[in-house]
Amino acid sequence: MMVGARLAIAKPGGHQEPDYLSACIAQHGVTTLHFVPSMLQLFLRHGDMAQCASLKRIVCSGEALPLATVQRCLQQLPQAELHNLYGPTEAAVDVSSWQCLPDDPRPLVPIGKPIANTQLHILDDQLQPLPPGIAGELHIGGIQVARGYLNRAALSAERFIADPFSAEPQARLYKTGDLARWLPDGNIEYLGRNDFQVKIHGLRIELGEIEQQLRQCSGVEDAAILAREDESGGKRLVAYVIAPEQTAAAAEWRRQLQQHLPDFMVPSCFIRLDAFPLSPNGKLDRKALPAPANMQETAAYEAPQGELEQQLAELWSELLGTTRIGRDDDFFALGGHSLHAIQLLVKLKRHGHSLGIKTLFAHSTLRGQARILTDGVPATAPATSEPLQQLLTRLNQASFTFKQVERLNHAITPDSVWMIHPAVTGCDVYRDLANYLEKDFNVLGINNYNLFQQPHITSLRELAAYYLGHMRLSPARPVRLLGWSLGGLIALEMAAQLESQGYRDIQLFLLDTFYRTPFQIRSEPGMLAAMLAMLGIDGEAADRALKAEPTELTLAKQTLSAPLQHARITLFKATEDANLNITGLGDERELLAIADNGLSAICQHLQVHPLPCNHHSIIFSHEEIGRALRQSSRTPAMLGNLP
């Protein structure tokens, strides 16, 4: 209107009538339209595009814009530009803009860059800026940010905070509650609400993240995810999908999601809809989505056949609380999740059957599982692809006669490496690596105090000091410390304390250790116990591991006593998703995107070696680890140790 354009106002409710809108566009020669994405979908499906030749641009905001909607719009209305805008009412609505292009290869539609006089910040919980690729809360600064909420002082103080990036004393940031991340080209990708989270079996799940991934599956035009209570009172993820009938079915969508998401984030039920229910303002009305009991996709019922299928059906019924189980029913479609899966493996083992967890996910129907058990397919893949199971099994093999320091090989050499235990188990997990290094290094293991002793040491600094007190270190020789996961964090604190004592020639070799990532460290309740039971680890061994787990999760969240100034650090970074949350890592796919595992924040000398393995199988990368250690023995000390 500021440049002389006319404003055509639709009749009350007319924005929800595609035929009326088409006629209105033709009647008034409308050139610019603004839609909520849900309404744009409806308009593209049912409107008369032949009457829309006057359109030059379409603007979308108010919801995430699905890629399928973008593609359909640019195909059906090729003469019109499509713009994706973002912004809340608290910042005078739109604060960023992105023009959609037909040949853009991005899987998700960005919200673009900030408009004039606007600053957008993606920050962690401590209001620290996050680098590209890392998700955080989006904050808005600039002249358009509101002063607060009328007569709601407490809420205003919570959401409108002092702007630490502005020189203006009265400047404010608005905490949007939206998750986003910077892209390498300076644009922003919207990831959903940070209050759009649910907890299922103790795991924090971002529903928006699942929706984004589901929208990229075959034939899916749009998707919504809800966490609904089942008959037993537990929660299950339900996916609502807009997709033509001739496109992929639930089994295929589940398979595609499993390639990108951990199993606990894959919905157990998929419901296909022609259109989403909308609120009066045209947005998705989640409360109106139908309950799974009314519309669940199920196969035609065929009763279990034979003793094995009957036995499987009884086990499924015990776990899932479902009485009518057919041969072609899917374990996960009936409400099964990752913990149920491991519990099923435990029950099968007690009945004399052996099935691997990956095999269970690949064959999730009753008929399929019975066939695998009958045909005698190996329960697990080769040992190197199930490293966590291989290592946990050693809990039963190890003697529980406690030694704080163990010699892990029989090398006769002055060059030594100290290997610090990871979580859940002891230093015995390094024995194969130690044997591989026997020609070059005398390997000494620091055993897991909290696994063997009481009371537990819950302070990272105290635990590191305790371990250093049991080590014989020579100021004339380099100090080499190696740690896997939590063991690496303990090694970092040991190095910090050594530096404070004057040591300078310290070399650390970290196997996929993380430091202070923006993601919550957590573990699914019961998962470790079920895995131990499945592997036949019980009694004292299992009891020690389960008692140590809470302490080790506490240790993993702690900070170093001081940043490292002199220590040289080699990080071996896993680049593949283990797709199984047992050891408390959490958000593993996001962690893979952190190039330095967060270590640059606390050290000056860091080298990163990406390896084609996951967090659990990295311990078997003997050749790569050995090469780096041998190179360290040929590298002269920089300053020498000065204790």
DSSP code per residue over 261-282: S-GGGS-SEEEEESS--B-TTS
The pLDDT of residue 633 is: 72
Domain count, the chain: 4
Q: Which of 243, 271, 295 is the last residue of a domain?
A: 295
Whether 420 contacts 482, CB under 8 Å: yes
pLDDT at residue 231 in the model? 57
Tell me the per-residue pLDDT of 103-141, one tens digit each, with 9 for 90 and over. Answer: 898 888 999 999 999 999 999 878 889 888 788 899 999
Do 516 and 610 share a domain, yes or no?
A: yes
pLDDT at 520: 46
Query: Is residue 639 one of the residues assigned to a domain?
Result: no
Nearest to 160 by CA among 181, 179, 178, 176: 176
In this predicted structure, the answer to whether residue 100 has a pLDDT above a threshold of 70 is yes
Same structural domain, 334 and 467: no
Q: Are residues 538 and 624 in the same domain?
A: yes
pLDDT given at position 292: 76
Of 334, 356, 380, the domain-final residue: 380
**Contact by Cβ (8 Å): 449, 417:** no
Question: Are 412 and 556 in the same domain?
Answer: yes
What residues pair up with 570 in beta bridges, in sequence order?
Answer: 509, 607
Rounded CA-CA distance 195/179 in Å is 9
Helix (H, G, I), strand (E, B) or coil at 31: coil
| Residues near 484 by beta carbon (within 8 Å), at least 6 away in sequence | 422, 429, 430, 510, 511, 512, 513, 618, 619
Task: Choose the final residue of a domain: 295, 314, 346.
Answer: 295
Domain presence at residue 107: no
Domain limits for position 369: 306-380
- What does pTM read for this prediction? 0.49
Do 278 and 316 lie in one domain? The reply is: no
For residues 291 and 310, membership in a common domain is answered with no
Specify if 243 maps to a domain.
yes
**pLDDT tens across 404-454, in order?**
999 999 888 888 999 999 988 888 889 889 999 988 899 999 999 998 888
Residue at 109 is within a domain = no
Q: The domain spanning residue 249 has which CATH number?
A: 3.30.300.30
Same domain for 419 and 333: no
Residue 454 placed within a domain: yes
540 and 435 housed in the same domain: yes
Which CATH number belongs to the domain containing residue 547 in this structure? 3.40.50.1820
Alpha helices in 80-236, H assignment, sequence order: 153-159, 207-214
Is residue 581 domain-shared with residue 442, that is, in the same domain? yes
Q: How much is the average pLDDT of 17-36? A: 94
pLDDT at 581 over 60: no
Provide the pLDDT confidence category of residue 535 given band limits of 50, 70 and 90: low
Are 80 and 23 members of one domain?
yes
Using 50, 70 and 90 to split pLDDT, how confident is the model at 582? very low
Q: Is residue 123 part of a domain?
A: no
Sequential DSSP letters for 399-452: -----SEEE-S----S-EEEEE--SSS-GGGGHHHHHHTTTT-EEEEE--HHHH
Judge if 317 and 243 occupy the same domain: no
**Average of pLDDT values for 311-325?**
87
pLDDT value for 378: 42
Residue 337, domain member (yes or no): yes
On whether residue 629 sits in a domain, the answer given is yes
Please tell me the distance from the alpha carbon of residue 304 to that of residue 301, in angstroms, as a whole number. Answer: 9
- Kind and range of the H or E element at 606? strand 603-611
Question: Whose structure tokens read 């984030």?
Answer: 265
Q: Are residues 2 and 64 in the same domain?
A: yes
Name the 3-class secondary structure at 59.
strand
| Residue 204 banded pLDDT, cuts 50, 70, 90 | low
CATH number at residue 37: 3.40.50.980
pLDDT value at residue 117: 93
